[in-house]
Structures are given as structure tokens and as C-alpha cells.
Amino acid sequence: MNREFFPLAQRIAETAIDGGLSVSQLVEIATAQFGEINCYPGEPGEHCHRLALFVALHGQLRQGRGHYNCAQILEEMVRHLQGRCPGTTRHAVLILDAWWHDHYEKWRPNLETMKRDGVQIEAFLIGAGGWVAPIPI
């Protein structure tokens, strides 16, 4: 399992410890490290990029409005990779603070198709103590 984006998940988890993370802070963290990317929530942008970040903060790690939950972010991920930007986005990073297995199972066939088509998907579960755990997808 590739863990290239583990430091990004760790930075998001650590930043969210003190009062949660706003959507604008999330975008700042992602673009400061990677430049132009598609970021959900935040700035999906009009153009497709090779990297897309999908973050769902459902609990105490979120601050303010505009966040997605696990079900919503999985749907956005599939819409982006198979609908808006097929063939362009080659790496997807999914970061969540709650894992809803039934919603993952709903989209698993789509995710498997994307992986067979060469999209690399990394997923991480983060927690209130700043911990990060890879999710094998």
C-alpha cells in the first residue's frame, strides 16, 4: 500500500485538534503542499488536475459549514473520477474522520473500476487525538 500522502493526512489531523478545521484551512493546507489540485470540499475548480483530495469531517474535527460526511464524499469522489475528470485525475486521496462501511460498499465497484483504469487511491482515517490510520481500499 502506497502511503505517499500520509503526511498530508497527518497535517490535517494535527491542525484539526484545536477547535476543528474549516474548509478554507483545508484548502490552504492542500494547495500549499501540492499547488493546483481538485479539492472537495473547497475548490474543485473548473479544470481537472492529476491529484484530487476528498475530505469528510463529520465530527469534532470540523469547523464551520461546507463539510461533507462519508457518504457525500464517496459520491463526490466517484462523480469526479468517473464523470468530471476521467482519465485526467490519476491520484485520489480520501481523508475521513468516520468510516461508513455500507456507503463504501455502495461505491466499491466504481472504485475498483477506477483502480483497474490506473487511478491510485489512498485513504486515511483520522481521529481527534491527531492520529492517522491508512484504510486499505
Above pLDDT 90, what percent of the chain?
71
Other beta carbons within 10 Å of 32: 9
In the three-class reduction of DSSP (H, G, I as helix; E, B as strand; rest coil), residue 133 is classed as: strand
The model's pTM is: 0.93
**Least confident span in 48-52, 67-71, 82-86, 99-103:** 99-103
* Per-residue pLDDT at 112 exceeds 80: yes
Range 86-91 average pLDDT: 95
Concatenate the DSSP letters of all residues of 43-78 into one string: ---SS--SEEEEEE--STTB-SS--B-HHHHHHHHH
Residue 43 confidence (pLDDT): 67
C-alpha cell at 11: 497535517
Residue 129 confidence (pLDDT): 86
* Per-residue pLDDT at 1 exceeds 60: no
